[in-house]
Amino acid sequence: MKNIVYLLTFIILSFIGCSGTTKKNSGLSQQEKVTIIRFDKDVYNYLQQPDAVKESGLKEKYPLLLPAFGRIAMDNSDPATFFPALRDYFSHPALMQIYKDALTTFDNISAYEKELSNISSLVSQNLPEKKLPAFAMHVSGFRENTIIINNLISISIDKYLGYNYTAYKEFFQPFERQQMQPEYLVRDYLKAWLMSDVVKSDVEDQTLLFAMVDEGKILYALSLLLPEKNAEEIIGYTKAQTDWCKQNEKSTWQSIVKQNYLYSTDHMIITRFINDGAFTAIVSKDSPGRIGTWIGWQIVEQYAKKKGASLQNIIDTDALIILKEAKYNP
């Protein structure tokens, strides 16, 4: 999404278009076994007993991920100073405790791997020209959440330790901690993939409408790929927040239209509707954050129901056409 990072914090390095996750359609919905790469454990094992052999092993095993990780965690990907900087960065006792807590929380990840494996067949059904990338885990010390390189997505698992995790309270607001829970890990792997390789906007002067519909496409795709999740789990709201959106859908939409926000290209207006926050200030202090994202989802869902469109068709359809043919008017 041009010039705006919405729901995830990304660092995208050496990402090559869609080539890494495109496949030929075999006509079959195949389930592929997904194994998450434990980069986090390999780095931790090195930190416990660092030596030149382990350094060489990490460089050989992770030629792209290792320097990408150094860039986002320590702002250092220089081969000459990388490993001393890595040891120094994680020498702080509090940071090492966070690392240990992350490894404990995600010691057994078989449930996440099974869920991603099940999703692979849904990807074949809904996006037959696509294939899931590889997935990995890292610990960044509360830095960038997601690394995307070539055909790999790595997520910082120290950002998923639970709403009440003690160390979060010093650094993150309650609305941020709301989605920093283990149950959002798989959703965020998929969201990162969808945002970087599936729903990609190339609109030069993006309007609020285009931004909302793009976000709606992502949430609609997630709802198809995560059919066991309810609406709150897809968007990351509480039930009370979803209820507020439903009860105030008409007035929110009317306000967007009457204030001439819908076709605005003002970056500040777009981010106020799309970016996360305790509330959407431009709408109401009682509203949840990201209400523009929720509205976009409703528009896309209504279009899908009216047209019976496939997911790929929805992704490929212009936002103006989706709004017009959805006849969205709550």
- Mean pLDDT to the nearest integer, 64-71: 95
Q: Is residue 34 over pLDDT 80?
A: yes
Q: Is residue 235 over pLDDT 70?
A: yes
pLDDT of 173 reads 95
- Mean pLDDT to the nearest integer, 296-301: 98
Distance CA 148, CA 130 (A): 17
Torsion of CA 240, 245, 251, 255, to 10 degrees: 120
pLDDT of 201 reads 73
pLDDT of 17 reads 36
Distance CA 131, CA 24 (A): 9
pLDDT of 30 reads 56
pLDDT of 284 reads 93
The average confidence (pLDDT) of the chain is 90
Q: What are the CA-CA distances from residue 267 to residues 151, 203, 208, 310 (Å)?
A: 30, 14, 9, 31
Which H or E run includes 100? Answer: helix 93-105
- Residue 16 near residue 150 (C-beta atoms within 8 A): yes
Q: Is residue 82 over pLDDT 50?
A: yes
Would you place residue 271 in the very low, low, confident or very high pLDDT band (cuts 50, 70, 90)? very high
Q: What are the CA-CA distances from residue 5 to residues 1, 171, 189, 274 (Å)?
A: 7, 20, 16, 9
Q: Is residue 120 over pLDDT 70?
A: yes
pLDDT of 200 reads 79
Would you place residue 5 in the very low, low, confident or very high pLDDT band (cuts 50, 70, 90)? very low
127 alpha-carbon distance from chain centroid: 18
pLDDT of 145 reads 82
DSSP 8-state class, residue 21: G
Would you place residue 125 in the very low, low, confident or very high pLDDT band (cuts 50, 70, 90)? very high
- Residue 146 near residue 154 (C-beta atoms within 8 A): yes
Percent pLDDT > 90 in the chain is: 85
More confident residue, 18 or 290: 290
pLDDT of 203 reads 66
- Residue 176 near residue 276 (C-beta atoms within 8 A): yes
- Mean pLDDT to the nearest integer, 197-206: 79
pLDDT of 32 reads 80
Which of 236, 246, 89 lies closest to 174, judged by CA? 236
